[in-house]
């Protein structure tokens, strides 16, 4: 086999590995962006503060798995929909959240499911204490 063929094979393998690395970085970036979105932060906050969720899953509850959902903007209306899981020491909860935001009003609905039990955890304004700068610094 000619010497240049070895270089060609090495270049092809290197290109393949770089492409796989870039795809992995993109996937982690997208899921990181979803987990830091205001909708995800508020949904997680309301579930973690809910007494029923604490009784079923235990505390602490942490994000697990890959979230799925969508965010769409049409005119001045932002529509948010997401499904994700929170795992506690006793159980894993399936969380479904959806909401809308406009400059004048907002609404967020958060449901949790464990087994055959579904509970509406929160239905109200698309806002929560977890979005405040004081909460982000650890004070209440």
pLDDT > 70: percent of the chain: 87
Chain segment 24-55, per-residue pLDDT in tens: 777 666 666 566 777 888 889 999 999 999 99
H or E element: which one contains 97? strand 92-101
- Local confidence band at 136 (pLDDT 50, 70, 90 cut-offs): low
Confirm if 104 and 98 have CB atoms less than 8 A apart.
no
Q: What per-residue confidence (pLDDT) applies to 55?
A: 93
Q: Is the pLDDT of residue 102 over 80?
A: yes
Q: Is the pLDDT of residue 137 over 80?
A: no
Mean of the per-residue pLDDT values of the chain: 84
- Local confidence band at 93 (pLDDT 50, 70, 90 cut-offs): very high
Q: What per-residue confidence (pLDDT) applies to 140?
A: 44
Q: Is 51 exposed, middle or buried (0-12, 13-18, 19+ CB in 10 A)?
A: exposed
- Show the DSSP H helices in the chain as ranges: 3-35, 38-49, 51-57, 133-136
Mean pLDDT of 66-81: 84
Angle CA 75–31–76, to nearest 5:
10
C-alpha to C-alpha distance for 69 and 34, rounded to whole angstroms: 9
């Amino acid at each position: 086999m000619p010497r240049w063929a070895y270089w060609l094979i090495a270049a092809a393998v290197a290109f393949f590995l770089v492409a796989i690395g870039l795809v992995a970085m993109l996937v982690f970036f997208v899921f990181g962006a979803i987990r830091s979105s205001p909708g995800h932060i508020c949904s997680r906050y309301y579930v973690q503060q809910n007494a029923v969720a604490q009784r079923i899953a235990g505390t602490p509850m942490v994000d697990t798995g890959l979230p799925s959902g969508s965010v769409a903007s049409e005119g001045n209306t932002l529509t948010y929909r997401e499904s994700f899981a929170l795992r506690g020491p006793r159980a894993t909860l399936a969380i479904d959240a959806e909401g809308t935001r406009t400059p004048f009003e907002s609404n967020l609905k958060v449901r949790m499911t464990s087994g055959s039990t579904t509970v509406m955890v929160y239905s109200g304004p698309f806002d929560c204490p977890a979005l405040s700068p004081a909460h982000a610094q650890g004070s209440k």
